Amino acid sequence: MQPILIIGGGPSGLAAALTLTQNRIPVRIIDKATSYHQQSRGAGLQPRTMEVFRFLGILDDMRRHARKRVQTRAFKLPNTTEPTRTWSMHEKFEWTPDRPEDGQAVSQYITEGVFRDHLAKSGVHIELGTEPVSLEQDADGVTVVVKKAASEATETIRAPYVIGADGAKGFTRRAIGSAFEGETKEEDGQVWADVEIEGIDSEYWYIFSEPETFTISIRPKDAPGKFHVGVGGLNFDPTHLVDEQKFADFIKEKTGRPELVIRNFTSLTYWKPKVMMINKFYNGRTFIVGDAAHIHSPSGGQGLNTSVQDSVNIGWKLALVYKGLAPSTLLSTYEIERRPVVTLMLAATSNLYQHTVIKKDDDPATASMDKATFFQWRNLALRQYGINYRWSPLVHDVRAPLGLSEDELKAHAYEGYPGGDVRAGDRAPDAPALVGADGTETTLFKTFKPYYHTLLVFAPEGADVAGVVKAAQTLPEGLVRTVILSRNEVPSTVVGADVYHDKEGHAHKGYHVAGDGLVLIVVRPDGYVGGFVHDVEGLQTYFSRVFGSA
């Protein structure tokens, strides 16, 4: 079996690799870098991403490295002895049974390390110093020629599919003729550094802003004394600060804190803000994910999170097609589903970008806590709970439609439908306190995996579920896991299904199931509802959309 080739060893490439390996698909990862980076970009992990990490089996390891988001503390220049305000950049997270995960802060290089450790258990390692130089496709596969940095030797790789996860400046996007569309903030720029600072503690995220000009951000990292420091602004382009001494001097001068000791730079990078998305997410057998597909402001912490969801979306679909269990047309739904989400995410982060420098008439001490203002992200969509695919040709919901056009549905692709019923295409909620036949408790999220669909059977007393279980068993073994849920007691044992008592009613409440009729909900391998039906015929309609006649 030829491995799927993944070009790029960052979060999107690693998430795609782990999704595929858990589906027992061989992968090969190459990266032109000769060493792993130690930069802190992409440190904000949204709640939905933590849920995806659970499905991928890496959540516990991520939690060991994670820290709660610290509060933000602002100072008004030039007087920086007393803070003008201390607040939380994001809204306070309220735990609910269907939403069990809060956002966390983990430096990206640590996240990547966790992914690499888990891939190593399957014998998968990134081939560093391996740069693609050409890519050609035909009806049966992709031929990629790579060059080895150590020896300058070339190798020709034959792969059934390629995933391009090699970033905004990467090779793959250009190789398939895909182009970025959008804008570059030519008048703006940002410089970021990972440093050690003596003279400031790690209890807060410190912000110093010159009205209408620039902002200095000093965010604590994973260890005391280590910080990720940035300088950026509106109509302000600090190209002159891509020098360690000049950067350190600027921070000390502008913050009014000459006593700070800034040393041990492990990174110093310049970045010009862009808001762009590629005009095609795939061509033939090559698919583009992550920063290679979309670039935008880091405001709101959406980049890594969106990239991981790209990869899981295409990953489970590629696995089915690779195995011959689904038609190749399934792969076209990657762009159909992800493009509207990314479009709206770009708009949201662009809006927040305008609040990264304080305005002359802003007063951080009296800023409203109910709206987005200076370094205050008041947009619940950032948690990515609302991301949905209700317009997708894959999903099937037998209930009456909402009366919205396809374009109207896509307009809600990112923020969702707060407070409404769970419908096909939506995120599948969690539900704790499920009691099995042996008396042990579990949660729905512990049953969701990236290598099978989960069929939730909400069965009222006396319902005949044998035909439902049998219908699920018509698909090849391992493609569907059936879970029977009863509100009143542990259901009778059914061969080919797990049975649980929804003791506290969280599953019925989370999925808005009243319990007065048979309800069948199919959860896709990426944790989104694929089908909402009431009988075997409806179930077969959904499965035909995914598996076709394969």
Q: Are residues 449 and 532 in the same domain?
A: yes
176 found inside a domain? yes
Extract the tokens encoding 356: 């990264």
Domain boundary (244, 272, 300) is at 272
48 found inside a domain? yes
Would you state the pLDDT for residue 95? 87
- Using only C-alpha atoms, what is the Rg of the chain? 24
Would you state the pLDDT for residue 250? 96
- pLDDT, tens digit, 9 for 90 and up, residues 115-173: 999 999 999 999 999 999 999 999 999 999 999 998 999 999 999 999 999 999 999 99
Please determine, for residue 532, whether its predicted confidence score (pLDDT) is greater than 60.
yes
Q: Are residues 293 and 428 in the same domain?
A: no
154 found inside a domain? yes
Q: Are residues 530 and 452 in the same domain?
A: yes
359 found inside a domain? no
Q: Are residues 322 and 258 in the same domain?
A: no
363 found inside a domain? no
Would you state the pLDDT for residue 364? 58
State the average pLDDT over residues 368-385. 80
Would you state the pLDDT for residue 369? 59
Q: Are residues 265 and 290 in the same domain?
A: no
370 found inside a domain? no
Q: Are residues 27 and 169 in the same domain?
A: yes
- The answer to whether the bond into 78 is cis (omega within 30° of 0) is yes
Residue among 335, 349, 310, 276 at smallest CA distance from 49: 310
Exposure class string for 284-307: b at 16+ Cβ within 10 A, else e = ebbbbbbbbbbbbbbbbbbbbbbb
Domain boundary (315, 330, 353) is at 353
State the average pLDDT over residues 517-535. 97
Which pLDDT band holds residue 550 (cuts at 50, 70, 90)?
Answer: very low
Please determine, for residue 363, whether its predicted confidence score (pLDDT) is greater than 70.
no
Confirm if 177 and 167 have CB atoms less than 8 A apart: no
Q: Are residues 512 and 436 in the same domain?
A: yes
Exposure class string for 458-474: b at 16+ Cβ within 10 A, else e = bbeeebebeebbebbee
Q: Indicate the burial class of 256 (C-beta count within 10 angstroms; 0-12, 13-18, 19 or more).
A: middle
Going by their DSSP bridges, the two strands 126-127 and 27-30 should be labelled as: parallel
Question: Measured between alpha carbons, how far is residue 500 from residues 96, 443, 517, 520 in Å?
Answer: 20, 10, 17, 15
- pLDDT, tens digit, 9 for 90 and up, residues 56-76: 999 999 999 888 788 899 887
Q: Count structural domains, the chain.
A: 3
- CATH number of the domain residue 342 falls in: 3.50.50.60
Q: Are residues 310 and 452 in the same domain?
A: no
- CATH number of the domain residue 87 falls in: 3.30.9.10
Residue among 371, 435, 393, 384 at smallest CA distance from 530: 393
Q: Are residues 128 and 211 in the same domain?
A: no
406 found inside a domain? no
Range of the domain at 425: 417-547
Exposure class string for 351-362: b at 16+ Cβ within 10 A, else e = ebbebbbbeeeb
Please provide the average confidence, as pLDDT, over all residues in the chain: 93
Q: Are residues 343 and 489 in the same domain?
A: no
Q: Are residues 170 and 295 in the same domain?
A: yes
Please determine, for residue 425, whether its predicted confidence score (pLDDT) is greater than 80.
yes
pTM: 0.94
- CATH number of the domain residue 462 falls in: 3.40.30.10
Separation of alpha carbons 245 and 255, rounded Å: 16
**Residue whose entry in the numeric block shows the structure tokens 């939905």:** 48
State the average pLDDT over residues 290-317. 95
Q: Are residues 243 and 341 in the same domain?
A: no
Least confident of 55-69, 90-104, 256-270: 90-104
- pLDDT, tens digit, 9 for 90 and up, residues 387-397: 999 999 999 99
Which helix (H) or strand (E) segment holds residue 315: the answer is: helix 303-322
Extract the tokens encoding 436: 């099995």
Domain boundary (238, 256, 272) is at 272
Q: Indicate the burial class of 15 (C-beta count within 10 angstroms; 0-12, 13-18, 19 or more).
A: buried
As a dihedral over the C-alpha atoms of residue 379, residue 381, residue 382, residue 387, rounded to 10 degrees, the angle is -170
- pLDDT, tens digit, 9 for 90 and up, residues 447-466: 999 999 999 999 888 788 98
403 found inside a domain? no
Residue 544 in 3-state DSSP? Answer: helix
